[in-house]
Structure 1
Amino acid sequence: MAQRTGSADLPLHSGHVPAWLSARMAALGAVICQAIVQEYGRDELLARLAHPFWFQSFGSVMGMDWHSSGVTTSVIGALKRGLRPSQDELGVYVCGGRGKQSRQTPQELNEIGERVGIDADELIRTSRLVAKVDSAAIQDGFDLYLHGFFVTREGHWTVVQQGMNTDNRQARRYHWCSQSKSNFIDEPHTAIDGPVQGEIVNLTDRRAEASRSAQLDLLSTLGPDKIVSRLLADSELDAPQEQQLSLPHLSLPDRHEVRSSDVFIRRLHGTLAAAAEQGPKDFPDLLLTPGVGARTVQSLAMVAEVVHGAPYRFQDPARFSLAHGGKDRHPYPVPTKVYDETIRVLKSAVQKAKLGNSETLAALKRLDEQARLLERTADGPTFDDYLAQERANSSSFGGRSVFGWESSPQPLSKARGAA
């Protein structure tokens, strides 16, 4: 049976992902998925995608705005593009998307069914049903506008869809997973992300079973007109209501900057220490770009956590934006040289693993394990000092944002002379 794993507030943002970042997101997202399948299998990838905290961290590590509703659209789009060339080999397919792309889901599932031999009709029914549940059975003030359907060659699936509330400028993301459901109307979600909107009608909650049955009985015995009369007559009666279950809640603020309060600093210190102590020993033959390699190991440590980390590790998705920055310069411009190096190392590791040499993937796992051990005792820079250092080095790392390339900082003596 599916259970909710938490909720999150997602500010509704407009805009687009620039081509230079979109291509990198597709490449990095695809190779992370390949690494997860290589290490843990296709069902584990579906389970990760169905976890709202992991999903947000996944988008953050790819350089997307760490807190934005746009993470949902950009991650699904990146995976759809990035996994397409290897989808038959990997056995993982991505359908749907935003707007008109969501309406292409049935056709895409039909094509996959014919090619792979899974029951497309049942998957199409599933796609339509989960969309109907989130748009009709759950009346929470959000209108669905995005529907992403992930399916494996075994016919297992995860659905990630999102609705918007334009009045409040907020979005809510819904997660479904075939591995954890007993039926479609008895708490089928693995999680629902979004802002608290007061009282919500949710007929999929298991506590609503009596209500569902009573509604059918009322319709069959009284009819709609008598139901309205009965409601008017009983309007002054107050029936006690069971309180909603308390769930972990991730609140993503409507601000762009990343603050120290958004990050578990001890985990950041563990990552930095592991990169310094474990990285150079494990990656001497892969770090070939002068002046960039050491910084790349820091990003690889965060990517390794996305591949290997347990659910509790993703309660601070902002921390993963420290791997490759953000397109809006928060927490700092995307270090494109580091980003490209990360992709190259991961691609090399996955390709070698396919040929039977899993040493590099194993080194990434050791990097993650080392970070967890060191975070208990490691010390490091303050969060503000760390950001200042990254921004000072941004130009040498190929820093880029929607505002353009970062320029080299002007020497202090020259700047004073000019003044």
Structure 2
Amino acid sequence: MAHRAGSADLPLHGGRVPAWLGERMTRLGTIITEAIVLHYGRDEFLRRLAHPFWFQSFGAVMGMDWHSSGITTSVLGALKRGLSPRAHELGIYVCGGRGAQSRKTPSELIAVAERTGFDGHHLASTSRLVAKVDSAAVQDGFDLYLHGFITTQDGNWVVVQQGMNGERRQARRYHWLSEGLKSFLDSPHAAIEGRGQGLIMNLADARARPSRDAQLELLDNIGPDGIIHELNKINPRVNAEPFAAQMDLPHLIMPMRHEVQEVDVNMRRLHGNLAAAAERGPKDFQELLLVPGVGPRTVSALAMVAEVVHGAPSRFSDPARFSVAHGGKDRHPYPVPIKVYDETIRVMKSAVQKGRLGHQEELLALYRLDEQARRLERYVTGPDLKEIIAGEYNQTRRLGGRSIFGHEIDIEHQSER
């Protein structure tokens, strides 16, 4: 049986992803996807997408606002742009999107099926049913506006969709995974992300089966008019009872504030990442380190990218930590270091391309980097988060820092005037 993997609060943020970041997210997201498929296969990539903590970490390591609902849109958009040209080669197809694009998902799936041979009409029906469950069977105050359907050539799939509550300025993300799914109405979600909002009606919960059966029986026995009559007799103050907790799962709480604080980050793991970059990097990247622009800072970013590729689910309980790899477009925790980001893409692209040809040395170096970080975090210590962020700000001009507010070098010149 598919299971819920967790929940999280996602503040609604307006605005668009700037082109300079969107293009880089597309390239890095595609390369990370290829690395996961090379190491672990397509089905494992689907499992990652269905894990809400990993999904948030994936977006954060690509430079998106670490706590924002916009991660959902930007990650799915980056994957659709990056994987579509490689879909036949990788066997992964990304359909759907936001707003009007979400409503085109069934026709996109049928078009893919015509080229590949799997049952597109079945997947199109599945897409509609999944959307209907989260919009009608789960009435939690969030209106769906985004629907992403990722399927493989084997017919396995994952759905990531998101609803918003404009009054509360919050979003809720829903994750579905086909693996092990036996029913769309007995606790089918891989995950639902969002803060508990009090009483909700979830008829897709396995525990709601008696309610669903009773509703059908009531409809057969007394009809719609009889149901309305019975409802009018109900006294909500007498009959309302607190619902049982919807999920016995860990909750990822995303605050409204923008700044990354130490409470958001597992410092032991962060120190492990940084120490592994300092200790393992020179051994595994000797040739690479001779190239101008690739130094300890790039290897530090690669340590967190390697964790996104290789880390177990328990490693992603603190998605904010992955924003330390490439910063954030809103300058939190610091501006995106363009030079580091581009070198990360170049190194990952080289490793994946050689890996496809059977030369695994660079891919294995990334694996060892992640392995070393996990060993070192048991005992290494280091500066606190404020010091780490301050160090990034000190070198932001040298590393080509950029945000939605512009290039850091230009911002600094403006402040001097």
- Alpha-carbon distance between aligned partners in 1 of 2:240 and 2:108, rounded to the nearest angstrom: 47
For residues 357-372 of structure 1, the aligned pairs below 5 Å read 357-372=359-374
Q: Aligned-pair distance for 1:225?
A: 2.1
> Does the alignment pair 1:208 with 2:208?
yes
Query: What are the within-5 Å matches in structure 2 for residues 164-179 of structure 1?
Result: 164-179=164-179
Unaligned runs of at least 5 residues, structure 1: none
Deviates more, 1:24-33 or 1:244-253: 244-253
User: 1:47 is matched with which residue?
Assistant: 47
Are 2:86 and 1:86 equivalent residues in the alignment?
yes
Partner of 2:140: 140
Partner of 1:128: 128
TM-score normalised over the length of structure 2: 0.96
Q: Provide TM-score, normalisation by structure 1.
A: 0.96
Q: Residue 408 and residue 239 in structure 1: after superposition, are their counterparts in 2 closer, same or farther (change >3 A)?
A: closer
Q: Sort the Cα spacing of 1:142 and 1:242 in 2 relative to 1 into closer, same or farther, 3 A.
A: closer
**Matched residues in 2 for 1:96 and 1:363: separation?**
36
Q: Measure the CA separation in 2 of the matches of 1:366 and 1:184.
A: 40
Could you tell me how far apart the structure 2 residues matched to 1:241 and 1:198 are? 9
> For residues 393 and 60 of structure 2, what CA distance do their matches in structure 1 show?
18
Q: Establish whether residue 401 from structure 1 lines up as the match of residue 403 from structure 2.
A: yes
Q: What per-residue deviation string (whole Å, max 9, x for no partner) do you get for residues 71-128 of structure 1?
A: 0000000000011221111110100100111112122111210111100000000000
Work out whether residues 349 and 360 of structure 1, in 8 Å CA contact, stay in contact via their aligned partners in 2. Answer: yes
The amino acid that maps onto 1:71 is I
- Following superposition, the deviation at residue 381 of structure 1 comes to 1.2
8 A contact 2:293–2:339 mirrored in 1: no
Alignment of structure 1 residues 19-418 onto 2, 5 Å: 19-235=19-235, 237-238=238-239, 243-244=244-245, 245-290=247-292, 292-407=294-409
2-structure distance, mates of 1:143, 1:237: 29
Q: Which whole-Å CA distance do the structure 2 matches of 1:363 and 1:30 have between them?
A: 19
Counterparts of 2:69 and 2:291, CA distance in 1: 35
Q: Does the 8 Å contact 1:392/1:409 carry over to 2?
A: no
Q: Any conservation in 2 of the 1:292–1:397 contact (CA below 8 Å)?
A: no
- With over 3 angstroms needed to count, the CA separation of the structure-2 counterparts of 1:349 and 1:204, relative to structure 1, is same
Deviates more, 1:331-340 or 1:179-188: 179-188
CA contact (8 A) 1:96 1:102 kept: yes
Distance in 1, matches of 2:229 and 2:295, equals: 73
Counterpart secondary structure, 2:289: coil
Q: 1:137 to 1:252 in 2, by over 3 A?
A: same
Q: How well do the aligned residues superpose, as a CA RMSD in angstroms?
A: 1.8
User: What SS does structure 1 have at the residue aligned with 2:24?
Assistant: helix
**Do the aligned residues in 2 keep the contact of 1:36 with 1:45 (CA within 8 Å)?**
yes
Q: How many residues align?
A: 414
Name which of structure 1's ranges 283-292 and 358-367 shifts more when overlaid on structure 2. 283-292
Structure 2, unpaired ranges of 5+: none
Distance in 1 of aligned mates of 2:241 and 2:172: 28
Q: Which moved more, 1:1-10 or 1:34-43?
A: 1-10
Checking the alignment, whether the CA contact within 8 Å between 2:293 and 2:343 is kept in structure 1 is no
Identity of aligned pairs, percent?
65
The 1-side partners of 2:336 and 2:206 are apart by 45
Distance change >3 Å, CA 234–CA 102, structure 1 → 2: closer
Q: How far did 1:229 drift?
A: 2.5
Q: Does 1:15 align with 2:15?
A: yes
2-side partners of 1:99 and 1:238: how far apart? Answer: 38
CA distance in 2, matches of 1:85, 1:233: 59
Amino acid at match of 1:176: W
Cα distance between partner residues in 1 of 2:407 and 2:167: 35
* Stretch deviating more after TM superposition (305-314 or 280-289): 280-289
C-alpha distance in 2, partners of 1:152/1:359? Answer: 28
| Change over 3 Å in CA distance of 1:60–1:404 after alignment to 2 | same
Q: What is the CA–CA distance in structure 1 between the aligned matches of 2:314 and 2:101, rounded to whole Å?
A: 33
Q: Distance in 2 between matches of 1:314 and 1:224?
A: 48
Output the amino acid matched with 1:141.
Answer: G
Once residues 206 and 327 of structure 1 are traced to their aligned partners in structure 2, the CA distance between those partners, rounded to angstroms, is 41
Rounded to whole Å, the distance in 2 between the matches of 1:125 and 1:81 is 24
Q: Output the amino acid matched with 2:251.
A: H
SS in 1 for 2:108: helix
- CA positional deviation for 1:238: 3.6
Q: Find the aligned partners of 1:294 and 1:385 in 2 and give their Cα distance.
A: 17
The code of the aligned residue for 1:332 comes to Y
| 1:271-323 Cα deviation digits (max 9, x unpaired) | 01100010111012223443542111000000000001111111100000000
Taking structure 1 as reference, are residues 360 and 309 closer, same or farther at Cα in structure 2, changes over 3 Å only?
A: same
